[in-house]
Amino acid sequence: MNKYLDSLTDYPFEFLSRLLKDIDKTNEEIIGLHIGEPKGDAPPEALQAINDNFSHYSKYPTSKGDISLREAYSEWLLDRFKLKNVDPNKNVLPISGSREGLFSFIQSAIDSTKPRPIVIIPNPFYKIYEGAALMAGAEPYFVNSQEDENFKTDFDSIPEEIWKNCQLLILCSPSNPTGNCLEKSEYERLIEKAISYDFLICSDECYVDIYESSTEPPIGILECEDITLPKSKSVVFHSLSKRSNLAGLRSGFVSAGEEVIEKLGLYRTYHGVTLPIPSQIASEWAWKDRKHVEENRRNYDQKYKTAISCFESVHNIQRPQGGFYIWLKVPCNDEDFVKTLYEKESVLALPGSYLGKEEKGINPGKGYVRLAVVHDTDTIAKAFTAVNRTLSAY
């Protein structure tokens, strides 16, 4: 077996299962706020596209995907980020959701023959980043994001020797779990670092279309670097899971410079993960349609309004810049809070410490709880009233 498998730790939900294993609950009474799974309806047009094209399941799809799908990716990028040029034949590839795409890309991007290959990861973080780095034979280097800086990642704290050995910098904006969004000046500064030290930037932007509808949308890294230019450093991941309520479709795409896409395409030919043709047709519709995304965004406006109204004003709960989580600071041990919330209120939440690593004596997730604002408003009202009741009891 691969020796790096021993480096992997359990996934956060395994820790959560062990934490709550002695509490007896039925599935009917539990409200789950612990997992980032949209609960809104999938667009019926996308589902109909799958039904209308089910006969194509008899055909092998190509790893490169149909040209019409790649054109839909490119058109969406041009429109969403006001870009001048994206080549559907050179700058995009389908992936089976951002989770699979991120993991496989990191495997292909790391050169483990070089001394001390490093992957820089924001902390707290999506666990796939760490697992993929470890399985690629790289060393994860965690950079804390803390409350007193509005959850900005402290990239200025990174030593010179880490930058010198960095092969990959991972960004997530809007952040999972904090909802913080990177600004253009931050992207530009990190791109300058990537050019100076010759590493790639892996930008996970799967939450980029979920934000308050009355505000300006979060920017993406492609607004700061032209990926059609030789030796561009940005590699960006997008997904239909959050923006289109199509998590089960496992459909997304990666966008990067021609050289990266060419090498990743070769890797994925062997990797063998392809998007079925009916899924490609449904995905093409979803990337082209804007109305369902706008409606979804307005629905999240109502969901957040309902959730925040459940808290007493003293708790000062505010909607983050992007994403669909509330990163809640609790006045006690985060595991104890989650356990009490589950035992007394039948509401599942995720301890923030499960999403962080201790770095410089600090686990920046400790003392926080991640709550997904994804259910219908009635369920949200019930669940977040219970969260407030538990919060006020401490």
Q: Kindly report the CATH number assigned to the domain that includes residue 267.
A: 3.40.640.10
Residue 23 reports pLDDT greater than 80: yes
- Give me the pLDDT at residue 271, please: 85
Q: What's the domain count of the chain?
A: 2
pLDDT at 38: 96
Q: Among 237, 267, 289, which residue terminates a domain?
A: 289
In whole angstroms, give the CA distance from residue 296 to residue 210: 8
Tell me the C-alpha distance between 239 and 30, whole Å: 28
How far from 55 is each of 133, 136, 209, 269, 381, CA to CA, in Å?
A: 39, 38, 32, 24, 43
pLDDT band at residue 28 under the 50/70/90 scheme: confident
- Residue 35 sits in the same domain as residue 133: no
193-230: per-residue pLDDT in tens? 999 999 999 999 999 999 999 999 999 999 999 999 98
117 with 175, same domain: the answer is: yes
Same domain, 256 and 352: no
Indicate if 37 and 167 belong to the same structural domain: no
Contact 354, 333 (CB under 8 A): no
Q: What is the pLDDT of residue 323?
A: 97
79 in any annotated domain: yes
**Residues 11, 66: one domain?**
no
Q: Could you tell me if residue 48 is inside a domain?
A: no
Domain termination site, one of 263, 289, 315: 289
Res 314 pLDDT > 80: no
Are residues 62 and 31 both part of a single domain?
Answer: no
Q: What does the DSSP assignment read for 3-21?
A: GGGGGPPPPHHHHHHHHTT
Q: Is the pLDDT of residue 27 over 90?
A: no
Stretch 263-288: mean pLDDT, rounded?
94
DSSP code, position 49: H
Q: pLDDT value at position 147?
A: 84
pLDDT tens-digit series, residues 135-183:
999 999 999 998 888 899 999 999 999 999 999 999 999 999 999 999 9
- pLDDT recorded at residue 287: 98
Mean pLDDT across the chain, nearest whole number? 95
Q: Do 304 and 254 belong to one domain?
A: no
**pLDDT tens for residues 351-391?**
999 999 988 888 999 999 999 999 999 999 999 999 999 99
Alpha-carbon distance of 66 to 94, in angstroms, equals 9
Banded pLDDT at 258 (limits 50, 70, 90)? very high
Give the pLDDT of residue 315. 83
Q: Residue 344: which domain range? A: 3-42+292-393
Q: For residues 99 and 224, state if they share a domain.
A: yes
Residue 145 falls inside a structural domain: yes
What pLDDT score does 8 carry?
87
pLDDT value of position 2: 87
Q: Is residue 108 part of a domain?
A: yes
Kind of pairing, strands 368-372 and 350-351? antiparallel
Residue-level pLDDT at 21: 93
- Same domain for 322 and 207, yes or no, is no
Does residue 26 have a pLDDT over 90?
Answer: no
Per-residue pLDDT band for 394 (boundaries 50, 70, 90) equals confident
What average pLDDT score do residues 64-87 get?
A: 97
Q: Of the residues 274, 289, 304, which one is the last residue of a structural domain?
A: 289
* 271 vs 228, higher pLDDT: 228
Output the pLDDT for position 264: 95
Distance CA 76, CA 86 (A): 10
